[in-house]
Amino acid sequence: MKTKNNKQFRLYIFKSNKHIYANIIDDHKKKIITSISTLSKEIKSTKNCATAHIVGKNIGIKLKELKIQKIVFDRGKNLYHGQIKAIANATREEGIIF
């Protein structure tokens, strides 16, 4: 499947001590397209696996609104476990491919 304008977008996950952030980055323009975190008004909670699932679900919804179906998943230095896995699974449940 091709993405919007044949570009590849990147879902970058960042975790701080209290919060978790999910950013969609357009590497060609070097800009953040959209983002969501546990600081967002939709979530407003500290990080755990349940809120990570909500972050993943919301970023998947935002991607569908932007008509982006395929992305690259960038977990940074984080292991694919726990909260990172919850975000990935929730994003996939929304129909996003990576």
Mind listing the pLDDT tens digit for each residue in 71-93? 999 999 999 999 999 999 999 99
pTM recorded for the entire structure: 0.85
Instruction: For residue 10, name the pLDDT band (cuts at 50, 70, 90).
Output: very high
Question: pLDDT at residue 4 above 60?
Answer: no
Phi, psi dihedral angles at 50 (to 5 degrees): -65, -45
Identity of the residue numbered 80 = Y
Q: How many CB atoms lie within 10 A of CB 98?
A: 15
Domains recognised in the chain with CATH numbers: 4-93 (3.30.420.100)
Supply the mean pLDDT for the chain.
Answer: 90
For 91, the enclosing helix (H) or strand (E) is helix 83-93
What per-residue confidence (pLDDT) applies to 31? 95
What per-residue confidence (pLDDT) applies to 1? 40
